[in-house]
C-alpha cells in the first residue's frame, strides 16, 4: 500500500474544504481540517471549543502551539498511518517547521501541496453566499476581509518554501466542483500518486 501525504491550500471561499473531502476519498485517506476540529469542539462546548470560540469571534486565528498540538495528535491516530490530507495547517512558516519536524521524526514528508488559486473577489462572493446559507457567525464582512489579509500575508510564504521543494501544484479554483476535482486528480496522477477509489 502506498501512502499519500497531501496539503491543500487556498484562501477562505476557495472551496478547499469541499475539494479536500473529495481528494481524500479518492486516495482513501482521512481529510484533516483544523477548522472542522475546532468547530466540532465549539459545538460540543468543550474546553478547547470555548477557547477557540473566543479567539475566532474576535476574527483572530488560534495559536500555533494549540493548533500544532491538535494536528500532531490527529496525525498520530491509526487511520492517518497510510497518509492524510491536511486542510488549514500549516498556516504560516512556524507551523511549517513544526510539521516538517513531526514528519521527519516519522521518516515522512509531504508528497504534494495543492494550491487552489481563486481571485479575491470570487472568494468574497462565495463566503457571503456560504454565510447566508449556513448562518456562520464568523463570516462577517470584516472578519472575512481580515482572514483573507492574514492568508495573503502568512500563507503565501508557505507556497514559496514548498515551491522550492518542487511539490506545489497550482490549480485553477474557478469552475464547477467536478472540473476542479478533475484538475486536482490529473495533477496528482501526473506526479505518480495513485488513487484508490473513483470519485
Catalytic residue annotation:
16, 91, 130, 136, 147
Q: How far apart are CA 82 and CA 3, in angstroms?
A: 5
Q: Which of these, 4, 75, 79, lies nearest to 33 by C-alpha position?
A: 75
| Residue of 69, 4, 21, 34 whose CA lies nearest to 155 | 34
Q: What pairs with residue 86 in β-bridges?
A: 7, 32
Let me know: does 173 contact 116? Beta carbons within 8 Å.
Answer: yes
Beta bridge partners of 85: 6, 31
Amino acid at each position: 500500500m502506498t501512502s499519500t501525504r497531501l496539503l491543500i491550500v487556498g484562501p477562505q471561499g476557495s472551496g478547499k474544504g469541499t475539494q479536500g473531502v473529495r481528494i481524500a476519498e479518492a486516495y482513501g485517506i482521512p481529510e484533516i481540517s483544523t477548522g472542522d476540529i475546532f468547530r466540532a469542539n465549539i459545538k460540543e462546548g468543550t474546553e478547547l471549543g470555548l477557547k477557540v470560540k473566543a479567539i475566532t469571534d474576535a476574527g483572530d486565528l488560534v495559536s500555533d502551539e494549540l493548533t500544532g498540538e491538535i494536528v500532531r495528535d490527529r496525525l498520530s491516530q491509526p487511520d492517518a498511518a497510510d497518509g492524510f490530507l491536511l486542510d488549514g495547517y500549516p498556516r504560516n512558516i512556524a507551523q511549517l517547521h513544526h510539521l516538517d519536524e513531526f514528519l521527519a521524526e516519522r521518516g515522512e514528508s509531504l508528497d504534494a501541496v495543492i494550491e487552489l488559486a481563486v481571485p479575491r473577489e470570487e472568494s468574497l462572493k462565495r463566503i457571503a453566499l456560504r454565510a447566508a446559507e449556513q448562518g456562520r457567525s464568523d463570516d462577517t464582512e470584516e472578519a472575512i476581509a481580515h482572514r483573507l489579509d492574514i492568508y495573503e500575508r502568512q500563507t503565501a510564504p508557505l507556497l514559496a518554501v514548498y515551491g522550492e521543494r518542487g511539490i506545489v501544484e497550482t490549480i485553477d479554483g474557478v469552475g464547477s466542483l467536478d472540473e476542479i476535482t478533475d484538475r486536482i486528480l490529473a495533477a496528482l496522477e501526473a506526479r505518480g500518486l495513485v488513487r484508490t477509489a473513483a470519485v
